[in-house]
Amino acid sequence: MRFDVITLFPELFAPFLSHGINRRAFESGLVDVRLWQLRDFAEGNYRRVDDRPFGGGPGMVMLADPLYRCWQAIRAERNEAEPAPTVLFSPLGQRLAHPVVTGFASGQGAILVCGRYEGIDQRFIDACVDAQLSLGDFVLSGGEIPAMALLDAVARLQPGVLNDAGSHQQDSFNPALDGLLDCPHYTRPEVWHGPQGEVAVPEVLLSGNHARIEAYRRQQRLHTTAQWRPDVLQQVRAAGGLTRQDEAALRAAGA
């Protein structure tokens, strides 16, 4: 799959694409990321990409013309029978969630538009943007961080990227876990000498009894989801993802 990123700061992506376990996806081409410097498509001596907003007000607005020329160049190079979607990162957008990521992870890729300043000329959005995505109900200085978040989430779902092929199946929100949050994890030493004294690993995890371990982890996923994301628990319940045993465990825990 191929992702074309329209940005004023392509240099921000260099360390992201070359470090960490997900670099396997980028270096191998499983996730082909191409960066497009928007100023290369601006005109004039100053390569201007923004101007003051009509109607007054603070900030600057990104010009439609450089964005459109860059977008056209990407479309021409991709030359797809069915064009990939164009995505703008914006506080107005749908929140980036696991189902959205899995959709991109199994698709052809996308053109990612990283906005800056006060916003983008609405005429470009109306003409070229298919979807808007947001990381949450807050405002960032630009779309580069959300773009990297999407690329990171997509890359780790590609075959051969993670050391354990089934690792992402245990992730929070994964359908393999009915959409629940992940459970707590422990490693060596078996007894940790922390600020509150000795803390041992839960005995069940050392038992070697895989059925008991899985039952324990399921219970912990339920408790964690109820504690930290009750909204997610309600979604799982509404989708029929909770068994009678699950409901009994939640009642016993006072959740």
pLDDT tens per residue across span 3-44: 999 999 999 999 999 999 899 999 999 999 999 999 999 998
Say whether pLDDT at 66 is over 90. yes
pLDDT at 169: 59
Residue 188 Cα distances to 185, 193, 205, angstroms:
11, 12, 12
- Could you tell me the pLDDT band of residue 174, with boundaries at 50, 70 and 90? confident
CB 148 within 8 A of CB 25: no
pLDDT at 164: 57
Residues with a known catalytic role: 91, 118, 156, 171
- Could you tell me the pLDDT band of residue 255, with boundaries at 50, 70 and 90? confident
The mean per-residue pLDDT over the stretch 40-58 comes to: 95
The Cα 235–Cα 179 span in angstroms is 9
Say whether pLDDT at 222 is over 80. yes
Task: Looking at the structure, give the CATH architecture of the domain made up of residues 2-155.
Answer: 3-Layer(aba) Sandwich (3.40)
Sequence ranges of the chain with CATH classification 3.40.1280.10: 2-155
The percentage of residues in the chain with a pLDDT greater than 90, rounded to a whole number, is 90
pLDDT at 89: 98
pLDDT at 167: 58
**CATH of the domain spanning 173-252, picked from 3.40.50.10490, 3.40.462.10, 1.10.1060.10, 1.10.1270.20:** 1.10.1270.20
Token digits of residue 59: 């900030």
Q: Pick from 85, 108, 235, 91: which is nearest to 172 by CA?
A: 235
Sign of CA dihedral 143, 138, 119, 62: negative
CB 1 within 8 A of CB 159: no
Sequence ranges of the chain with CATH classification 1.10.1270.20: 173-252
Parallel/antiparallel/unpaired status of strands 2-7 and 61-62:
unpaired
